[in-house]
Structure 1
Amino acid sequence: MEMKRFLTCVAVPAFLCSQAAAVEIAPDAVKIDEMKVSQSLTGATGNAEEGAKVLANRGLGNCLACHVVTPLAKEQFHGNVAPALDGVADRWSEAELRAIVVDAKRVFSEETVMPAFYSLEVGINVRKDLAGKTILTAQQVEDVVAYLTTLKGSK
């Protein structure tokens, strides 16, 4: 009886994990339609707290290199090359924000310096160990989008 309960406890989480992985949309399967990605890349809502960490992390999103984000004022070196993200949720819908984070070049133009965070089309001369990889994972994109949707009202 104890072995049966053990196997059930092991099998159920494994099943749930495989179901969650099955929902994730691969980078080359993401459809940007009318400047929107309406469907979550993971099938779940992102975590805004984690999104703030990704946005501020210089090894991940590094969004602060170009954008000012007043709620993250404790972080150093906010850039002024791109628009401030304060009030961004008033300017763009969740689906539009997701499309911008996934691939700003497909939303705005090829001239934007904002990288495509969830695309395999990242330019030329990519380091061999990074080829075929996205800058952010699908979950990190959802987390960043969740955080961006909290940035309402100009500050």
Structure 2
Amino acid sequence: MRTGATLTSLPALLAGLAVMAASVATAGTVAPDSVPIVDMELTQTLTDAKGNPAAGREAFADRKKGNCLACHANTDLKEQLFHGEVGPVLDGVADRWSADQLRAIVVNSKDVFGEQTIMPGFYTLKVGVNVAEENAGQTILTAQEVEDVVAYLMTLKDN
């Protein structure tokens, strides 16, 4: 009887360990509903890890992640097809905005520009109505992907 109890407890134990591991992995991550955007800036990084510009470039161009090229043109990614014209050209964006401002814009542009902007918030749970059930309660980008995209955007200088 004792062996049976141990075996039925094993899945619960493994599930508990998985939750603990996930908590440790995200311990330094700011939750999407706790992001402090103040005066069009987000001075607190979302993770303890530094942003990776190469990973940010990939997320920026990925049509299933950032999909930034759907609205923005960017000469650095000229090899990619179909740059958008809805948003501003991002060449030299690091000369126009600080990392703190870019982080706030990527996290939730509506908190920076107002509800009228069509740019989505990439790290917010406030995404409107009629969200597909499988996407409910999720952000478009992870906290680390936001930091990576910001690191990439900071490489886009005019000089």
Instruction: State whether TM-score is above 0.5.
Output: yes
Q: Which 4+ runs in 1 deviate beyond 4 A?
A: 15-20
Amino acid corresponding to residue 74 of structure 2 in structure 1: V
**How well do the aligned residues superpose, as a CA RMSD in angstroms?**
1.6
Q: Which residue of 2 aligns with 1:126?
A: 131
Q: Residue 69 of structure 2 is aligned with which of 54, 61, 64?
A: 64
CA–CA distance in structure 1, aligned partners of residues 22 and 65 of structure 2? 24
* Structure index of larger Rg: 2
Give the 3-state SS of the residue equivalent to 1:51 in structure 2: helix
Q: Residue 153 of structure 1 is aligned with which of 143, 155, 158?
A: 158
Q: CA deviation at 1:77?
A: 0.3
| Per-residue CA distance 1:118-151 (angstroms, 9 max, x = gap) | 0000010001110000000001000000000000
1:23 maps onto 2:9 in alignment: no
Q: Which residue of 1 aligns with 2:119?
A: 114
Is the CA contact 1:105–1:115 (under 8 Å) kept in the aligned structure 2?
A: yes
Q: CA deviation at 1:44?
A: 2.1
Q: Which residue of 1 aligns with 2:40?
A: 35
| Per-residue CA distance 1:47-95 (angstroms, 9 max, x = gap) | 0000000000100100000100101000110011110000000000000
Is the CA contact 1:118–1:137 (under 8 Å) kept in the aligned structure 2?
A: yes
Is the CA contact 1:66–1:82 (under 8 Å) kept in the aligned structure 2?
A: yes
Matches within 5 A, 1:23-102: 23-102=28-107
Amino acid corresponding to residue 26 of structure 2 in structure 1: A
| Per-residue CA distance 1:15-52 (angstroms, 9 max, x = gap) | 99865521100000001011111111012211000000
Consecutive unaligned residues in structure 1, runs of 5 or more: 1-14
Give the 3-state SS of the residue equivalent to 2:72 in structure 1: coil
Name the % identity: 57
Amino acid corresponding to residue 150 of structure 2 in structure 1: V
